[in-house]
Amino acid sequence: MIKQSKYLPKQVNGEVINSVMMAMDERLEDSEKIADYLYGLSIATAKETELMSIGRILGYPRPLVPEGFEQENVFLFTDSLQRDIDIGFSEVGGSVGGRFVSSGASESNYMSLSLYRKFLDKVAYIKRYGITLYAVDAIAKSISNRYTISYDEFGDISLTFLENIGYKNMWILTSLFSRFCTVPQVNVYTQSEEDEE
């Protein structure tokens, strides 16, 4: 015997209608599993592919950092640099000289997964409330604890890091704020190692 459907009144009882409702229930079970899965999904616990899907839903897909920014300071040279037209850098003077750091290609140029995870909830906040000093502060803390936030003469927000945070982080922050900010703009600055001294 086919059981009575929970969606129909008891007066409507019969094998045909109850079998139709049972078939509809079976189809809805799959969507209930999906709903349960989505309800349990969290930025803090999501796997990489899930996190990237959440980012696409929020409108902030995991940034693919341009080639020049994924490896910082591949060549470090001093001020006294001699250049040869045919072979390029031929001689480097000074006490440090030239230093070749790496020639290996990185596995990928994506923003690191841990930093992306930290950014996503802040991006969700920005999408909901717009750019606020709280949001700028929370994003800056994801990179470093040494920074100041102020307004410039145009009413835009200036985020100045008191240490060199690197080209990659500068690119990530600049692209994030230019994507979500209209008025006020958030301008990101960093001090070089020479400025720190």
Task: Give the pLDDT of residue 159.
Answer: 92
Residue 115 CA to residue 97 CA, distance in Å, equals: 33
134 is a domain residue:
yes
User: In the structure encoding, which two tokens stand for residue 69, read together?
Assistant: 């920014």
Model pTM score: 0.60
Task: Give the pLDDT of residue 71.
Answer: 53
Express each pLDDT in 93-116 by its tens digit. Answer: 555 555 444 444 444 577 888 888
C-alpha distance across the termini of the chain, in Å: 85
Please tell me the least confidently modeled range out of 42-56, 89-103, 152-166.
Answer: 89-103
Let me know whether 155 and 91 are in one domain.
no
Let me know whether 121 and 93 are in one domain.
no
179 is a domain residue:
yes
Tell me the pLDDT of the chain averaged across its residues. Answer: 76
Q: Where are the strands (E) in the chain, listed by range? A: 75-76, 81-84, 88-92, 99-100, 147-151, 157-161, 186-190
34 is a domain residue:
no
CA dihedral 176, 180, 183, 184 (to 10 degrees): -30
6 is a domain residue:
no
What is the band of 1 on the pLDDT scale with cuts at 50, 70, 90?
low
Range of the domain at 142: 111-196
8 Å CB contact between 191 and 160: yes
Task: Give the pLDDT of residue 172.
Answer: 87
Mean pLDDT, residues 34-48? 84
Residue 135 CA to residue 118 CA, distance in Å, equals: 12
51 is a domain residue:
no
* Nearest alpha carbon to residue 163 among 134, 195, 186: 195
More confident residue, 136 or 2: 136
Number of structural domains the chain divides into: 2
Phi, psi of 88, rounded to the nearest 5 degrees: 85, -125
CA 179, 171, 148 angle in degrees (round to 5)? 90
Task: Give the pLDDT of residue 101.
Answer: 42
Let me know whether 116 and 93 are in one domain.
no
Tell me: pLDDT of 150 over 50: yes
10 is a domain residue:
no
What is the band of 2 on the pLDDT scale with cuts at 50, 70, 90?
low
Task: Give the pLDDT of residue 79.
Answer: 45
Let me know whether 77 and 121 are in one domain.
no
User: Which helix (H) or strand (E) covers residue 111, if one does?
Assistant: none
84 is a domain residue:
yes
Task: Give the pLDDT of residue 138.
Answer: 92
